[in-house]
Amino acid sequence: MTKDLSKRTRAVHAGTRRSQYGEVSEAIFLTQGFVYDSAEAAEARFIEAGPDEFIYARYGNPTVAMFEERIASLEGAEDAFATASGMAAVSGALTSMLRAGDHVVSSRALFGSCLYVLEEVLTRYGVEVTFVDGTDLAQWEAAIRPGTKAVFFESLSNPTLQVIDIAAVSALAHKAGATVLVDNVFATPVWSDAIAQGADVVIYSATKHIDGQGRALGGVILGTREFIRKTVEPYLKHTGGSMSPFTAWVMLKGLETMDLRVRAQTANATAIAKALQDHPKLRRIIYPGHPDHAQHDLVKRQMREGGTVLSVDLHGGKEAAFRFLNAISVGVISNNLGDAKTIMTHPATTTHQRLPEDQKEALGITPGLVRISIGIEHEDDLIADILAALDQA
Ligand SMILES: *Cc1c(COP(=O)(O)O)cnc(C)c1O
């Protein structure tokens, strides 16, 4: 019924399953197990469970199924598997499809835990990983070889907001027969059509824009029915990374308002980027939606809008960045993003603290860099707050 509807309408209605009570708001089926009418019915369900038949919450649950169907509908994916966190989704997607001897090519600009999985975990089990500068197509082309099993990247990198060309990298990967997995958190489900652009598997940390209100950890893997049910599900249901029904309910309610929130956050970010242009305290401002962004044409083509996060690099390094952060009053200092509240992070001393100095430098994580996840507060209040804090910096 929801096939021809817009994303925004699907985010409110797709996947809804009503119980015999006809509830308006989705029910939380906070149950571990399910009762069978007979021993024969239990046997039959273990042979093959129907679409409305469940066995155990680690395998599936009606509330979790609603969330999976809703996000799959939004993304134009055949199917989805919901996970306990974004990292359960990233590690589950990769580990379920890879084995010793496989080759993976990944962009180097990654969320710290993603880098850990690729650099430390997969290699421990005999997977070879080649890292490239994801914005340089020649490096992808040189690194991908016949038999490369998977290509992994964050479509919009953290915290320097570089954009990776999903269509171009996917074309190179598919020529070699590789599966393309995209961590799409920063692009958001609202501004991205990664599957239509060529990605085979899309991964979200639902902790970010999908919840959007700072409450629960969650994640989701989207792809073909074959990949989700034959590769991902057996691995995750037996290794324990499934989403809880309560979390699925939080995420379902989050999806209902995600489009409104992300549009408001994006409008705020656009206004703030404009207000900060040529500010004397800033070495640079990085916002993908700003015409000065080095990849602005690609942003327009791939995402339409610049998203909800911007980064500023202050003259005066760490001391200036800390003075700025400590003078902020509306925003909060924390390391999450995609929240209704404006959140500020100093990557060099927190999320990216463990990176060696040369790698920080190569990734553009300078001592003066502050990442700002823009919330839904009134833009005038945010601009006044940031300008006043810059005066203190
Ligand atoms: C937050 C994040 C993750 C991990 O998600 P969790 O829900 O915290 O496990 C993975 N990738 C990116 C790009 C993220 O921002």
Residue nearest to atom 11 of ligand 1 (CA): 111
Asked if the model's pLDDT at residue 2 lies above 80, the reply is: no
Residue 2 in any domain: the answer is no
Q: Could you tell me if 279 and 219 lie in one domain?
A: no
Condensed to tens digits (0 to 9), the pLDDT of residues 3-23 reads 689 999 999 999 999 999 999
Is the pLDDT at 299 greater than 90? The verdict is yes
Burial class (CB in 10 A: 0-12, 13-18, 19+), 38: exposed
157 and 58 co-located in one domain: yes
- Read off the pLDDT of each residue in 92-100 and give the average, rounded to a whole number: 98
Give distance in angstroms: CA of 253 to centre of ligand 1. Answer: 20
Residue 246 lies in a domain: yes
Atom in ligand 1 nearest the alpha carbon of residue 87: 9
Say yes or no: 339 and 211 in one domain: no
Q: Are residue 202 and residue 283 in the same domain, yes or no?
A: no
The β-bridge partners of 220 are 82, 204
Is residue 163 in a domain? yes
Instruction: Tell me, yes or no, whether 91 and 31 share the same domain.
Output: yes
**What stretch of H or E contains 372?**
strand 369-373
CATH number at residue 280: 3.90.1150.10
Q: Which residue, of 235, 254, 273, is where some domain finishes?
A: 254
Checking if the pLDDT of 50 tops 70, the result is yes
pLDDT band at 141 (very low <50, low <70, confident <90, very high): very high
Helix 379-392 to helix 317-327 angle (10° resolution) is 140
Q: CA 240, 67, 158, 232 torsion: positive or negative?
A: positive
Given pLDDT bands bounded at 50, 70 and 90, which one contains residue 354?
confident
Q: Which residues contact 129 (CB under 8 A, 6 or more apart)?
A: 103, 104, 105, 106, 118, 119, 122, 123
Question: What is the percent of the chain with per-residue pLDDT over 70, rounded to a whole number?
Answer: 99
Ligand 1 proximity of 207 Cβ (cutoff 6 Å)? yes
59 CA distance to ligand 1 middle (Å): 23
pLDDT at position 177, please? 97
SS3 content of the chain, % helix, strand, coil (to 5): 40, 15, 40
Q: How far is the CA of 211 from the centre of ligand 1 (A)?
A: 13
- 230 and 369 inside one domain: no
CA of 157 to the centre of ligand 1 (A): 12
DSSP-assigned letters across all residues of 203-233: EEETTTTTT-SS----EEEEE-HHIIIIIIH
Distance 183 CA to ligand 1 centre (A): 9
Q: Are residues 143 and 243 in the same domain?
A: yes
> For the chain, how many residues are written?
393
Domain count for the chain: 2
How many CB atoms are located within 10 Å of the residue 34 CB?
A: 18
In a domain, 244, yes or no: yes
pLDDT of residue 13: 95
The finding on whether 324 has its CB within 6 A of some atom of ligand 1 is no
Among 113, 114, 156, 343, say which to mutate for ligand 1: greatest number of ligand atoms within 8 Å of CB. Answer: 113
Å from CA of 87 to ligand 1 middle: 6
- Of 114-118, 340-344, 356-360, the poorest mean pLDDT is in 356-360
For residue 71, give the CATH number of its domain: 3.40.640.10
Range of the domain at 325: 258-392
CA atoms within 13 A on the CB side of 220: 34
Tokens of 23: 């509830």
Claim to verify: residue 115 and residue 231 sit in the same structural domain? yes
- What count of other Cβ atoms lies within 10 Å of the Cβ of residue 183? 29
**Mean pLDDT (whole number) for 72-80:** 97
User: For the segment 177-226, what is each residue's pLDDT rounded down to a tens digit?
Assistant: 999 999 999 999 999 999 999 999 999 999 999 999 999 999 999 999 99
Pair (100, 232) in one structural domain: yes
Cβ 227 vs Cβ 150: under 8 Å: no
Q: Whose CA is nearest to atom 2 of ligand 1?
A: 205
Q: Are residues 228 and 147 in the same domain?
A: yes
Query: 231-288: per-residue pLDDT in tens?
Result: 999 999 999 999 999 999 999 999 999 999 999 999 999 999 999 999 999 999 999 9
Mean pLDDT of 103-107: 98
Domain boundary among 211, 232, 254: 254
For residue 223, being part of any structural domain is answered with yes
Question: Is 1 within the bounds of a domain?
Answer: no
Question: How far is residue 164's CA from residue 185's CA, in Å, rounded to a whole number?
Answer: 13
In a domain, 293, yes or no: yes
- Asked if the structure places residue 197 within a domain, the reply is yes
Query: Domain ends where: 232, 254, 276?
Result: 254
Confidence check: pLDDT of 341 > 80: yes
CB of residue 85 inside a 6 A radius of ligand 1: yes
Give the distance (Å) from ligand 1 centre to CA of residue 270: 23
Q: Is residue 1 scored above 60 in pLDDT?
A: no
Shared domain check, 286 and 237: no
Question: Do 17 and 105 belong to one domain?
Answer: yes
